[in-house]
Every structure is written in C-alpha cells, then in structure tokens.
Structure 1
Amino acid sequence: MDEPGVDPKNVVRIFDTTLRDGEQSPGASLTSAEKIDIARQLARLGVDVIEAGFPAASPDDLEGVRRIAQEVGTADGPIICGLARANKNDIDKAWEAIKDAAKPRIHTFLATSDIHLEHKLRMTREQVVQRTREMVSYARALCEDVEFSPEDAGRSDPGYLVEVLTVAIESGATTLNIPDTVGYLSPDEYGALMEQLIAETPGGDRVIWSVHCHDDLGMATANTLAGLAAGARQAEVTINGIGERAGNTSLEEVVMAIHTRPTFYHLSTNIDTTQLARTSRMVSNFTGIVVQPNKAIVGANAFSHEAGIHQDGMLKHHMTYEIMTPETVGLSQSNLVLGKHSGRHAFRVRLKDLGVELGEDELNQAFDRFKELADKKKLVTDADIEALIADEFYGPEEVFSLAGLQVACGQPGMPTATIKLTGPDGQDHLAAAIGTGPVDAAYQAIDQIIATPATLVEYRVNAITEGIDALGEVTVRIRRNDDDSPRTFGGHGADTDIIVASAKAYLSALNKLLAYTGYQDRKPEGEASTVRVNAAVPAN
C-alpha cells in the first residue's frame, strides 16, 4: 500500500486483465457469476483498473462487463475498462457495457508492426494513422478516459510508433499502452523502447504510459519492471500470469518486486498484498489452471524449505532465506485456526479475516459444512476454510448436483461406483458403473446419467494441508467432443474423501459445459439436444 509522503508520480497503477486477456488462456472459461466474484476480489485486492472483458466478442461478454461495471465500478472502486478493436461497432459495444461504472474506460487497439499490417490488417501505415485518429476521437467523444494500444509494438518501427502515438494523444487518448504482444523483446530492449517513446512523443508528458508484456521467452515480469523503470506508470498484468500462449506478466510478481525492493525501484502500488494468496487461489479454482508449485510468490513451495542448510538458517533467522514473510502475501503460519468446538461467531470473524463476506443464509450453510469438516479433522486451517467456501459458493450454477456416491474397490475385484445425481427437474437419478479405478467408475456412472459428449483431458489431485486427514482438492478439464472449437471447461472440488472431491470436480466442469450450451434454457420437450438426461435410470 502507499506510504505517507510517497510522490504520486511514483505510484504505479495496476491494470488487471485477468478477466479479459487471462480468460483467453486455453481452458480458462469463466461463468458470469465467477467473473463477478473475481472482480469483487480484485477490487478488494486494490487494483486500479479492471479490464472486465471484450464486449464485442459476444452478447454474454457484453452483459458480463455491464454487470461488473454496475456492481463493482463504484465511486470508491476501480476503473472498469472494456476492450475494443479500432472500429465503431466495438467501441459502441464497449461503451454500452461500461457506461454505468462510476469510472469507465474504453481501451482500443490497432496493430502497428509491418508483419501485422501486411498479413493481418492488409492496411498501409498511412491508413493505420488515419484509423487511429478517427477511432480514438470517436471513443473520446463517448468516454473521457481512453486508452490506446499499438498492438505488437515490440516488433514495430519505433519512429512509426512515435507518429501513431502522437496522433493518439492529439485525438484524446489519456493512457498509451506499449504491448510486447508476442513476448519478443529483452528487458534492455523494452526499457530502451519505453524511454525513446516517452522522450520523443509530443505530448507524452500529458498521458500515462503503460506496459503490457507476454511471457513467450519467460521475460514478461523483467520487461514490465524495465518499462516501469523507464518511466511507465501503469502495469497491465494478470493473476498467476495466466493469458494467451505462455501467459501475461504476473500481477503478484510485479507487485511484490516493487514492495520488496522500494529502495531500488523507488515505486509503490495501491495493492493490499495480504490479499494476493487468496486471489491466486480463487482464480486457479475458477479457471481450473493449477499454479505450479515453484511459482514465485503464490506457489506451494514459495515459502517451503527442505535443504538442511536452509532449514538451519531459517531456524536462526527467517531473513537468511526469505526476502518476504508469508504473512505479507496473505499466507498464515498458524496450523490450527478453528475446531469442532468453535462457534458461529468465531467462524464469522475468521471468514472476515480471510476477506470472505457472506449473507446470513450463506453463513449458516458454510458453518454447517465447516462443522462437518471439523468432525472429520482435528485441525481446520485457513486453506481448508477457503477451499470449503470455494467448493460451496464459487462453483458454476448447478444443473446437476451430487446427492450420493458409494464405491467399492481393491484387489482383487472390480472397482464399482454407484452415484445419485439431482437433475434440473428436481428428480434424483441413479447409475452404477465399473471402471479401471474408483474415480473412473464414478465418472462413467456420471456419464450414464448426463449423456453429453465430453472427454476428460486433465485430472489433478492436491492435498491442501498436511496429514492423513488433509482436505483433498481436485481440478479437472474436459473438452466437448462435438464442438469444432478447442474450448475446454475446468472444474474444481474439495472434500476429505478424494473420490467425492473427484466427482464434485467432474460435475463442476460438466455444469459449465451445460451452461455454455444453454442447457438450462431448454424446455424438456422441443428442439433436439446433444445434452440430455438418461431417463432410464430414475431413482424411484
């Protein structure tokens, strides 16, 4: 967070594009409810700008951005930004989506590299300059806050960039973003480019300069910090570094570099760093993209020490091998948080400490789940509670819910699962199946009930906490077989029974697929559907 007396010129705006660029990660599809929850958490984290989506992409995207603008874009909240290509249709839809925010922003972009002009846009340099003038002016007539990005700036002619950016400023742009769209540049090159553009662009002192880097060569964070050192004061980032191809610059890495090295960078942010770990887990759970254990700041091993020399140093003084404390990023060193004798008030206070706000009915529901968990575990940790809350409230809107599961397995024998699901009609449906193992049998039984063509492409299990009674967390990814697009759907489940967690995760992913296909809006009778309930197995 900002320190008293910090020069405002040295405060870096954090522009989070998790909900736009991040969602473009293969498989990172999010429901509208999940986007709202992430946006609220980003506001709690303290980001300055939320790029909420690409409204022209689809009516659903437009409506999702509109809801974020209305519900999260309050006067004391972040700027809500919508992305638009440099054409009137996109800009109109972006404005329609964000206009209800207290602080709206239109972000429009147009490629400037010769390779993009020749092969993608099929436009001349002069045509791009003219389009920039027209579309930035058009956006500014609608919205006072306009950001312009010359796409693929990292491979563009710097002299030509100056020409385009000058026109953008003259036309009313208030922020100029310089994207290394394909992660091509080195830190020295990117820093030098930013210095040149800031120094040579007329009117450059009247705008905020922004950096947007991709991680194709593993240098996104280094490039972003180089750009900030060169004078940029906005960093475009995503939670966990998710994004196209190898991803975007990681928000937590940039923020903690600035936070940990204030005497080197002489910069600050408005981020509440204690919310970083929770935000990371939320995005990972919702997208189904697991954070690698050795990921900086938020990885499972980021504050773990196994080597004897390291352990000896840590026992003597934590700064021997840690340059920041776990508490700084929102991780707790305490193992025991609550137990089966804890009351509702203590549970409510702990949720508040974790940044979780629930209504009275939701609190009662969560407390019941907590007591069930506490009866199974001696110690209930913060991670257990967060996983419980994510499993209970942050999943997709349920079309099918798990009503019962029983498995038989071992050697010799045939792994068998019997499963009961409650369908959208309120009826229970039973199925039994044999598989190569209990999880496979459970999934085959689910497939018998939910007759949708989907393929399991990824399955991961993680023990959230230590011990034999650890809460198990499962993430899966499925692909719809009859869809020409490579779209995948992630699911998440948590339970002390790993088979139950597996079933929950698979159902979570299937529910996302069903919501995507419009299943909930279909009448029981009428048009044919590739998604149906197998009526041969009612639980009567």
Structure 2
Amino acid sequence: MSSFNHTKYRPFTPVALENRTWPDQEITTAPLWASVDLRDGNQALVEPMTVEQKKEFFKLLVDVGFKEIEVGFPAASQLDFDFVRWLVEEDQVPDDVYIQVLTQARPELIERTYESLKGAKKAVVHVYNSTSTTQREQVFRLDKEGIKQIAVKGAQCVKDHAEKNPGTEWVFQYSPESFTGTETDYAVEVCDAVIDVWQPTPERKCIINLPATVEVTTPNRFADQIEYFCRHVKNRESIIVSLHTHNDRGCGVAAAELGLMAGADRIEGTLLGNGERTGNMDVVTIAMNMYSQGVDPKLSLGDMDRIVSVVQSCTQLPVHPRHPYAGELVFTAFSGSHQDAIKKCLANQTDDKAWDVAYLPIDPMDVGRSYQEVIRVNSQSGKGGVAFALEQEYGLALPRWLQVELSPIVQRFSEEDGGVVKSADMKRLFEESFMTASAPYALGNYELSKKDHDSVTAELTHKDGSISIEGEGNGALSAFTTALSNHFGIRVDIVQYQEHALTNGSDSQAIAYIQANIDGDRFNGVAIDNDIVSASIQAVLATVNQKVASTNEQANVA
C-alpha cells in the first residue's frame, strides 16, 4: 500500500488581521458578475468548444444577464481571436455588455489583444502576472521588485494601447495571479503600483481581481486576506475589488461568499462550476444561495433546464444529479418522513406567505421544476410520497387512512422491481387494490326512494347472471349497506368516508373513498363516477367484493 504522509505539507500561514469585521456582515445585494465560461472554463475542457458552441454559450450568458463576459485569450489562440472578431464585426454584443479578454503582461500579447478588440463598443482588458512565492522563486526566479515591474510594465502597455484606440470604452483589470499564495502585503504593493499607472477615479474605476488560482486555505482565512487587502489598497473608492475563486478544497462558493462579506464588489465564475482541476466558483450556486435569502441575484436563472442543457452540450461534461439547484434530483425526496413533511408543508403554503417548506430551501418552480419532480417513490418512501405523486399526477387526494393502506403495497412493488416507481405503476396498484367494484359483482341499475326511511333496490351482475338486493337505512349508503348485509349474510359498517371532485368544472367526475368494517375485517374501496351517489355506492360494493374474494380464497385454501 502506498504511503500517505501528511508531514510533507505545510499549513497555510494566515494574514495578521485584528478586529476583523467580515463575520458580522451580511450579503444584502448582488455583486457585479463576470462569466469566465468561455475562457477559464473553456481552457479546462478536454475538447475545447467549437465556434458554434461558443456562439450558443455566449447567447445563454447574455440571456442569463451577465454584463461582463470573458470571451477568450485572443493573443494565445487563433480560435479565440477569430471569435472575438466575430462578436465585434457581426455586432453580437449588446450595448450594455462588456466583453472581457485575458492577456499576460507581455507587450506582444497585449498588442495582439487590442487587435482582436478593434471596433468594440465596450471591453475589459484583463492583464495578469503571477506573484506567488512559489512562482517567484521556482518559475520566474525573480525577486519581489522584478515581479512587480512585470505588472507595472504590463499596466503601462495596456494603458498606452487604449489611448491609441479611443473609440472603445475601456476598462482595465489586473490580477496578481495566485493571490492566495502571495504574501498579502506584497499583493497590495504590486496592485498599488498598477493603480499608480492607471490612475482610476470613482467615476472611471479599474478592476483589481484577486484570484484564488489554487484554493489553499479555509474560507475564513481567505476572507481575512480580502479584508486586509481592502483596508490597505490605494484609492479603494476608485477600484472594483473582484474575486476569482477555485474549488480545490471544495469551498469555492463559501470563499466567494465570505470574500463579499469582507468587502469585495465583483465575482468571476462559471455556470455550474466548470474549470481547471476541481473547477471554478459556481455562479449558479452562489447566485441561488442569495436568492434563497431574499436577495435579488440580478441574474435570470428561472429556466434551469435550459442552462443545464446548454452547458452540458457545449462542454461535453455531465451535471451531477445532486448539483445544488441544477441537479436532476436536487429537489427530490425518497425518504418517507421527508416526503410526508414536504407534502404537509406544501399544503399549507400560500402565495401570501414567505416560502417555508421542509427540506426545500427554494420553491422548485422558481427554477422551472415541477412539484411532480420533488417526490419520487422507491423502497424507502412512505405514504406521503405515494399520496403526493398520485395527487400531483392524477388529482387523487387520498385520505390518510388510505395512504396507510396503499404505501406498503407500493413499497413491496418497489422492492421487487428494484427502482423508482413510476406514477403510472402507482395508479395501477391503487386501482387493482381498491377500485374493485366490478368483480365478482358489478352494480347494475338501482333505484333510491324516500318515505319514512331511505330505501334502495339494486341489481348486481356477476358472471352467472344477476341478483336483486334491497334495503333501508338513514341515507343512501346506509340503505345500500343494509341491502348488501341482508343478501350476503354479513355485517357491513362504514368506518371512513371521503369524496371529492377530480377536476374543476361542472362536468367533473367524483371519486369516493370508503373504509368498511365487514365482520371484523377492514376493507378499502374506491370508485369514480359522474354522480357522487353512484361513486359512493360502488365504493361500498368494492369493499364487499374484496370480502367475498377473501372468503373464497380462504375456502379454496381449506
């Protein structure tokens, strides 16, 4: 077995921050959003997107509501260069959207970047160089001053090219790549030097993007780094502090949330979290987290199925069924107790109430999912899940006592079948078990009359012919049970009764549910008819048919 040696790793050295304020902050407004799906996300794909896929993805990003979209690294890829030219020349960018492009802080790459943007209305030029201790010492072999000069010269080059192209509304963005692996005070020093070159103002801000290129510590330590940076950076009122977190430790969203609490203004990420290694920060998750707290995320995520479909189609990556908010099963409950709680809470939920449903942090319908997807029935499910599925799919509002009887029937079927029980199968099991009013006896013609008592005369048909029964009682059901009791020599007492219309409207059919005690045994009968009295009489007959069948079966066994 291979060695597993934790001593080869060094713990993260936290930034010294006294009187931190971020733990007491709340996220009450959405940040500025920037999508990096077409650049950072695209470079992480085994097969990068084709031009057509990029076009489809760009349209999705615009429709979702991104106002800043990083569309490529045009100086490093001819495909990216051509795509940027297509966006500009074919006027594909809405007037309120900035296209963003990435470039290293190298003069020849910056020049090529501006060539790709010639004629653009609005653009963010994103320049970067790595500042981390590891890369300074082992990759570039430069001291702190040498790394800072790369940033300063790159910033000046970006500014010079913008002045040569005054027809575009330029925004400058700088990233000290691997910010989390950089001494925080040194990161401030480098960014201050870039800010000195660009001379931003409150009316014309620049963006300082702080990438957790590799996530190296817990989200609270990252928040300390961000708060320290925001306290110490020059001209804070003239810069937009942006975050670009990755998910190496599985905390990309949490780090971004705490970073916002620590003072950041802007978030870069990808839809559903695609990105190098374990992925970029997931914009869908963080935006929907805000939404679930009553904060408008300023993104349109109501058609989640379309988002998932486009992302999967363009990236060739599956979306996990348990992915927050977007996964196929994320709102689905199989557990019986969970299903029962969800069903009861949904019954209490009204439009004038704040959303308050057990196990569902948001209303699934807000992201285009139906309640039919919420509860799926398998061998772990209970009566609540079965009842919910039948009501949502077929309008069958089963009384609780009938839910108790149906649930083990469905559970046995699931155990034998070994999977999720479809609604059609549940309905079939329900009908076979309780809608038994046609065999061995079926109701033919019947007549009700009322004098001193209610009386009924009814014809029952069976395979050998027909019989006539009659009885009296206080009401139609009482008279019919008396008639059945007299003919079959049994005692029929109605224990439970419930009925409702299956649909709205005057032409709706009625359904009756009856539980009867017949000679000490309980049977459940259900019937549907255009007339509620006929439905109720047939439901009683269904219980008697079950009693007759049970008696015959016992006689055959004996």
Shorter-chain TM-score range:
0.5 to 0.7
Match of 1:129 among 148, 169, 193: 148
Q: Which digits, 9 at most, give the CA deviation of each residue in 1:138-174, with x for residues without a partner?
A: 2123343011000000010111111001012112270
Q: Number of paired residues? A: 330
Q: Is the 8 A contact 1:198 1:205 kept in 2?
A: no
Following superposition, the deviation at residue 333 of structure 1 comes to: 4.9
Following superposition, the deviation at residue 19 of structure 1 comes to: 0.7
Q: Is the 8 A contact 2:292 2:361 kept in 1?
A: yes
Over 3 Å counting, the alpha-carbon distance change for 1:119 and 1:225 in structure 2 is same
* One-letter amino acid matched to 1:97: S
Aligned residue runs from structure 1 range 343-362, under 5 A: none
1:43 aligns to what SS in structure 2? helix
Determine if the alignment matches structure 1 residue 12 to structure 2 residue 62. Answer: no
Following superposition, the deviation at residue 466 of structure 1 comes to: 9.2
Over 3 Å counting, the alpha-carbon distance change for 1:333 and 1:282 in structure 2 is farther
2:119 aligns to what SS in structure 1? coil
- Matches of 2:212 and 2:239 in 1, distance apart? 19
Q: Is the 8 A contact 1:82 1:95 kept in 2?
A: no
TM-score normalised according to structure 2 size: 0.56
* One-letter amino acid matched to 2:368: G
CA RMSD of aligned residues (A): 2.5
- Matches of 1:281 and 1:311 in 2, distance apart? 28
Determine if the alignment matches structure 1 residue 313 to structure 2 residue 341. Answer: yes
1:294 corresponds to: 322
Determine if the alignment matches structure 1 residue 167 to structure 2 residue 193. Answer: yes
2:93 aligns to what SS in structure 1? coil
* One-letter amino acid matched to 2:241: W
Q: Is the 8 A contact 2:71 2:100 kept in 1?
A: yes
Q: Determine what percentage of the aligned residue pairs are the same residue.
A: 27
Over 3 Å counting, the alpha-carbon distance change for 1:159 and 1:75 in structure 2 is same
Following superposition, the deviation at residue 241 of structure 1 comes to: 0.4
1:427 corresponds to: none
1:30 corresponds to: 49
- Matches of 1:228 and 1:202 in 2, distance apart? 19
Determine if the alignment matches structure 1 residue 190 to structure 2 residue 210. Answer: no
Following superposition, the deviation at residue 334 of structure 1 comes to: 7.4
Match of 1:96 among 112, 115, 126: 115
1:155 corresponds to: 181
Over 3 Å counting, the alpha-carbon distance change for 1:311 and 1:82 in structure 2 is same
2:75 aligns to what SS in structure 1? helix
Aligned residue runs from structure 1 range 306-385, under 5 A: 306-318=334-346, 319-333=357-371
TM-score normalised according to structure 1 size: 0.58
Over 3 Å counting, the alpha-carbon distance change for 1:312 and 1:151 in structure 2 is same
Following superposition, the deviation at residue 9 of structure 1 comes to: 10
- Matches of 2:115 and 2:297 in 1, distance apart? 30
1:171 aligns to what SS in structure 2? helix
1:50 corresponds to: 69
Q: Which digits, 9 at most, give the CA deviation of each residue in 1:246-297, with x for residues without a partner?
A: 10101101101111124xxxx6432012144412221112211001111111
2:38 aligns to what SS in structure 1? coil
* One-letter amino acid matched to 2:137: E
Following superposition, the deviation at residue 215 of structure 1 comes to: 0.6
Following superposition, the deviation at residue 74 of structure 1 comes to: 3.3
Aligned residue runs from structure 1 range 49-448, under 5 A: 49-71=68-90, 74-143=93-162, 144-172=170-198, 174-262=206-294, 268-318=296-346, 319-333=357-371
Q: Is the 8 A contact 2:87 2:93 kept in 1?
A: no
Following superposition, the deviation at residue 315 of structure 1 comes to: 1.0
* One-letter amino acid matched to 1:152: S
* One-letter amino acid matched to 1:317: C
Over 3 Å counting, the alpha-carbon distance change for 1:231 and 1:277 in structure 2 is farther
Q: Is the 8 A contact 1:52 1:68 kept in 2?
A: no
Q: Is the 8 A contact 2:211 2:244 kept in 1?
A: yes
1:108 aligns to what SS in structure 2? strand
Q: Is the 8 A contact 1:13 1:235 kept in 2?
A: yes
* One-letter amino acid matched to 1:171: V
Over 3 Å counting, the alpha-carbon distance change for 1:279 and 1:70 in structure 2 is farther
- Matches of 1:74 and 1:111 in 2, distance apart? 31
Of residues 194-203 and 130-139 in structure 1, the stretch that sits farther from structure 2 once superposed is 130-139
Over 3 Å counting, the alpha-carbon distance change for 1:23 and 1:9 in structure 2 is same
- Matches of 2:129 and 2:220 in 1, distance apart? 25
Over 3 Å counting, the alpha-carbon distance change for 1:74 and 1:229 in structure 2 is same
Q: Is the 8 A contact 2:49 2:314 kept in 1?
A: yes
Q: Which digits, 9 at most, give the CA deviation of each residue in 1:304-342, with x for residues without a partner?
A: 11111111111112411111122222334579xxxxxxx
Over 3 Å counting, the alpha-carbon distance change for 1:195 and 1:98 in structure 2 is same
Q: Is the 8 A contact 1:14 1:236 kept in 2?
A: yes
2:317 aligns to what SS in structure 1? coil
Please identify the structure whose Cα radius of gyration is greater. 2
2:185 aligns to what SS in structure 1? helix
- Matches of 1:182 and 1:297 in 2, distance apart? 25
- Matches of 1:467 and 1:73 in 2, distance apart? 47
Q: Is the 8 A contact 1:69 1:80 kept in 2?
A: no
2:302 aligns to what SS in structure 1? helix
Q: Structure 2: which 5+ runs fail to align?
A: 1-26, 163-169, 201-205, 347-356, 374-392, 394-419, 426-558
- Matches of 2:118 and 2:368 in 1, distance apart? 34
**Higher-RCO chain (CA-CA 8 Å, sequence separation at least 6):** 1
* One-letter amino acid matched to 1:256: M
2:54 aligns to what SS in structure 1? helix
Following superposition, the deviation at residue 126 of structure 1 comes to: 0.7
- Matches of 2:180 and 2:149 in 1, distance apart? 21
Q: Which digits, 9 at most, give the CA deviation of each residue in 1:402-432, with x for residues without a partner?
A: xxxxxxxxxxxxxxxxxxxxxxxxxxxxxxx
1:20 aligns to what SS in structure 2? helix
Q: Is the 8 A contact 2:223 2:262 kept in 1?
A: yes
Of residues 244-253 and 84-93 in structure 1, the stretch that sits farther from structure 2 once superposed is 84-93
Following superposition, the deviation at residue 124 of structure 1 comes to: 2.0
Following superposition, the deviation at residue 28 of structure 1 comes to: 4.5
Over 3 Å counting, the alpha-carbon distance change for 1:236 and 1:91 in structure 2 is same
* One-letter amino acid matched to 1:155: G
Over 3 Å counting, the alpha-carbon distance change for 1:122 and 1:72 in structure 2 is farther
1:21 aligns to what SS in structure 2? helix
- Matches of 2:143 and 2:304 in 1, distance apart? 44
Q: Is the 8 A contact 1:66 1:100 kept in 2?
A: no
1:175 aligns to what SS in structure 2? strand
1:19 aligns to what SS in structure 2? helix
* One-letter amino acid matched to 1:145: V
Q: Is the 8 A contact 1:73 1:103 kept in 2?
A: no
Over 3 Å counting, the alpha-carbon distance change for 1:40 and 1:26 in structure 2 is closer
